[in-house]
Structure 1
Amino acid sequence: MLIKYSDNPFKQVLGIAFYNKRNIFLFTTFSLIATLQYQFAEIFIFNPITLPVVPVTILGGALAIFLGFRNNSAYDRWWEARKIWGGIVNASRTFGVMICTFSSSYFSKGKVSDERVLTWRKELINRHIGWLYSLIKHLRKHNHWNDLEKYLSEEEIEQIKSVHNKPTQLLHKQSERLQEAYEANIIEDFRHMELANVIKEFYSLQGMAERIKGTIFPYYYNYFTGVFLWLFVICLPFSLAPEMGWGSIPMSIAISFVFTILEKSGAVTEDPFEGRAADTPISTITRNIEIDLLEMIKSETVPAPIEPKIGKFGVKYLD
C-alpha cells in the first residue's frame, strides 16, 4: 500500500517521469509531428493535417466515462480486499482468544494434562499462522512452500504440496483437530461449535479473496478503454495545433498524461493481491496478526512488525 511519495519534489517529478517515460516520449512525438507539420505547411507548400476540436472533445468525454467506470470498479475491488483482510484480522484474534481460553484440562477431569492442552493450543495457533501465509502464497500464485516449516510440521508441508488449494486443506486440518480435542474433552460441546463457526468464517473470507483474484475485469472495458485512449492521444495535438500553435505541444502532452495516468491507476488497482506498492498490504497485515497470536501463547520468538519499504525515488509503501 502506497503511503506517500518522496518529500523531495524533485524526486517526485523524476520518479513520475521515469515510470511513464515511454508514454511521455509518445506524447511528445505526436505533439511535435502535429505542430511542426502545421507550422511549416506554408513553407513547404502542402495542406497540413488538422482536426476540428468538437469531435475530439466528444471522444475525450466518452473516454472519461470509460475511465471513470473502470477506476470506480477497480477501487471497489481494492477496498473489498482491504475489508476482507480486516475481517481476517478480527476473526484471527477471536480464534486465538477462544483457543487460549476455551481449552482446559478441567473438562477431562484429570485425564488430560495441562501440558497436552498447552501443546494443542500452540499447534492450532501455529497452523493458523501457517494458513495466513499459505493464503498469501495462494493469492499471489507462489509455487514455493518450504518456508512454512516454522509453523507447520514437515508432514503437513508434504501433504499440502500435492493438493490444489492449500489454505483450504489447512483449515480442514484445523477442523479435524478441533473434533479430536472435543472427543478428548479438551473443549466441551458449546465451545467446539463456537470454534467451528470461526473456521467457517475463515472459509468465507478466503472465498471472498479468491473471488476477487479469480474474477477478471471485463476484457472489453480494458480493450476499448485502451483503444479510445490512444485514439484520443493521437488526435488531440492535431486539433490543438491550429488553435494554439507552439503552445499545443505542452498542452497536449499535459492532457494526454492526465488521461493515461487515470487509465494506469485503474489497471494497477484491479488486482490488489500482487504485492505492489499500490496493493493491499496483506504481508504487513499478516505479520501483525502473527505477532498478536504468538503473544497470546507467550511465544519466545515474536517477530518485529514489518517496517515501510522505501522504493525508487523515495516512495514509501507497505507490502
Structure 2
Amino acid sequence: MLIKYSDNPFKQIFGIAFYNRKNIFLFTIISIGATVQYKFGEIFTFDPFTLPVVPVTILGGALAIFLGFRNNSAYDRWWEARKVWGGIVNASRTFGVMICTFSSGHFSKGKVKDKKVEAWRIELIKRHIGWLYALIMHLRKHNHWDELEKYIEEDEIEELKKLHNKPTQILHKQGKRLQEAYEEKIIEDFRHMELANVIKEFYDLQGKAERIKGTIFPYYYNYFTGVFLWLFVICLPFALTTEMGWGAIPMSIAISFVFTILEKSGAVTEDPFEGRAADTPISTITRNIEIDLLEMIDEEVIPASIEPKTGRFGVKYLD
C-alpha cells in the first residue's frame, strides 16, 4: 500500500518521469512531428495534415468516460480486497480468543490434562497463522514455504504440497481438530458450534479474495480503452497545432500524460494482491495478526512488525 511519495518534490517529479519515460518520449515525438509538419506547410506552402478540434474533443470526452468507469470498477476491487482482509483480521482475533478461552479440561471432568489442552490451543493457533501465509501464497501464486513451515508440522507440509488449494485444506484440518476436541471434551457442544462458525467465516473471506483474484477484468474494456487512448494521443497534436502553433507540443504532452496516468492507475489497481506498492498490504496485515495470536499463547519469540519499505526516489509503501 502506497503511503507517500518522497518529501523531496524534485525526486517526486523525476520518479514520475522515470517510470513513464517511454510514454513521455512517444508523446514528445508525436507532438513535435505534428507541429513541425504544420510549420513546414506554412513555410513551403503545402497543405499540412491537421484535424478539426471538435471531433478530437468529443473523442477525449468519450475516453474520459471510459477511464472513469474503469477506474471506479478497479477501485471497487481494491477496496473490497481491503475489506476482506480487514474481516480476516477481526475473525482471526476472535478465533484466537475463542481457542484460548473456550477450551478447558473442565468438560472432561479431569480426564484431559491441562498440558494437552494447552498443546491443542497452540496447535490450532499456529496452524491458523500457517493458513494466513498459505492464503498469501495462494493469491500471489508463489511457492515460498518458509513462513508456513514455521507453524505447521513437516508431515502436514508434505501433504499440503500435493494438494491444489492449500488454504482450503488447512481450514479443513482445523475443522477436523475441532471435532476431535469436541469428542475428547476439550470443548463442549455450544463452543464447538461457535468455533465452527468462525471457520465458516474464514472460508467465506477466502472465497471473496479468490473471487477478486480470479475474476478477470473484462478484456474489451482494457482493449478499447487502450485503442481510444492512443487514437486520442495521436490525433490531439494535429488538432492543437492550428490553434497554438509551437505551444501545441507541451500542451499535447501534458494532456496525453494525464490520460495515460489515469489509464495506468486503473490497470494497477484492478489486481490488488500482487505485492506492488499500490496493492493491499496483505503481508503487513498478516504479520500484525501473527503478532496478536502469538502473544495470546504467550509465545516467547515474537516477530517484529513489518516497517514501511522505501522504494526508488523515496517512495514509502507497505507490502
TM over 0.5: yes
Q: SS at 1:3's partner residue? A: strand
Q: How much does 1:146 deviate?
A: 4.7
Structure 1 segment 1-319 matched on structure 2, within 5 A: 1-319=1-319
**Paired residue type of 2:291:** I
Q: How much does 1:147 deviate?
A: 4.1
Moved more, 81-90 or 135-144: 135-144
* Native 8 Å contact 1:277 1:318 kept in 2: yes
* Percent identity of equivalent pairs: 83
Measure the CA separation in 1 of the matches of 2:197 and 2:148.
26
* Native 8 Å contact 1:60 1:232 kept in 2: yes
- Structural RMSD (CA): 0.7
State how many pairs are aligned: 319
User: TM-score scaled by structure 2?
Assistant: 0.99
**Paired residue type of 1:305:** S
Measure the CA separation in 1 of the matches of 2:63 and 2:24.
19
* Native 8 Å contact 2:168 2:203 kept in 1: yes
Q: How much does 1:47 deviate?
A: 1.3
Q: How much does 1:40 deviate?
A: 1.5
Structure 1, residues 64-121: CA drift from partner, whole Å, max 9, x if none? Answer: 0100000000000000000000000000000000000000011111111111111000
Structure 1, residues 146-194: CA drift from partner, whole Å, max 9, x if none? Answer: 5421000001110110111000000000000000100111000000000
Measure the CA separation in 1 of the matches of 2:42 and 2:73.
49
Task: List runs of 5+ in structure 1 lacking aligned partners.
Answer: none
Structure 1, residues 129-148: CA drift from partner, whole Å, max 9, x if none? Answer: 00000000100001343542
Measure the CA separation in 1 of the matches of 2:84 and 2:54.
45
Measure the CA separation in 2 of the matches of 1:47 and 1:221.
37
Q: How much does 1:44 deviate?
A: 3.1
Q: SS at 1:137's partner residue? A: helix
Structure 1, residues 230-268: CA drift from partner, whole Å, max 9, x if none? Answer: 000000000000100011000000000000000000000
Measure the CA separation in 1 of the matches of 2:159 and 2:312.
40
Measure the CA separation in 2 of the matches of 1:25 and 1:101.
63
* Native 8 Å contact 2:130 2:147 kept in 1: no
* Native 8 Å contact 1:104 1:114 kept in 2: yes
* Native 8 Å contact 1:145 1:161 kept in 2: no
Q: SS at 1:40's partner residue? A: helix
* Native 8 Å contact 1:95 1:195 kept in 2: yes
**Paired residue type of 1:123:** E
User: TM-score scaled by structure 1?
Assistant: 0.99
Task: List runs of 5+ in structure 2 lacking aligned partners.
Answer: none
Measure the CA separation in 1 of the matches of 2:176 and 2:155.
16
